[in-house]
Structure 1
Amino acid sequence: MTAFIPVTLRFCDNKTMLVGSVAEAETALQHQWPDKTAPAFLDAARLVRQAVEGNCCPRTAFEAFTGVAGQQGILVVKPRSRAHDWLDAAASP
């Protein structure tokens, strides 16, 4: 079971990976990214490393990770399913 809702990444070499934990995020950071020298990438890598070591909140690290993946255009965005619409309609007053 994953700690977070998994996200799919498509790296520069066209390989994909499903990431749902900071441990998986740490592995994903080793793959081919568009710019591993970008400040946001370096910050996310630092936070993920600290989260794996237990020195940082995992949610903060995972959000930084998914944020930089989105900035670099490797985050695969999937359309919302109809189930989300049904749940939203059921939850609305």
Structure 2
Amino acid sequence: MTAFMPVTLRFCDNKTMLVGSVAEAATALGHQWPDRTAPAYIEAARLVALAVDGTCSQRIAFDAFIKAARQQGILVAKPRSRAHDWLDAAAGP
């Protein structure tokens, strides 16, 4: 079971990876990204390393990782499932 809702990344070498935890995010940061010098990438790498060490919130690190992936265009967007719509409807306005 993953710690977070898994996301799919497509790296520069066209390989994909499903990432749902900080440990998997640390592995993904070692793959081919478009720009490893981008500020968002550097910040995500720093926060993920701290989260792996236990000195940073895993949620903060994972959110920074997602932000970096989105900015670099490697986050694969998936359409929402019908289950999301049902849960939204059940939660009410």
Give the structure-1-normalised TM-score: 0.96
Distance 2:25 2:2 in 1: 11
Q: What corresponds to 2:22 in structure 1?
A: 22
**TM superposition shift of 1:90:** 2.0
User: 1:18-42: CA deviations, max 9, x gaps?
Assistant: 0011100000000000000001100
Task: Point out where structure 1 has 5 or more consecutive residues left out of the alignment.
Answer: none
Aligned length: 93
CA offsets 1:58-87 (integer angstroms, 9 cap, x no match) = 000000000100000000110001111122
Aligned 1:22-41 pairs, distance under 5 A: 22-41=22-41
TM-score (norm 2): 0.96
1:4 corresponds to which letter in structure 2?
Answer: F
* Segments of 4+ moved more than 6 angstroms: none
> Counterpart amino acid of 1:19?
V
Q: Which runs of 5+ in 2 are unaligned?
A: none
2:62 corresponds to 1:58: no
CA distance in 2, matches of 1:47, 1:39: 12
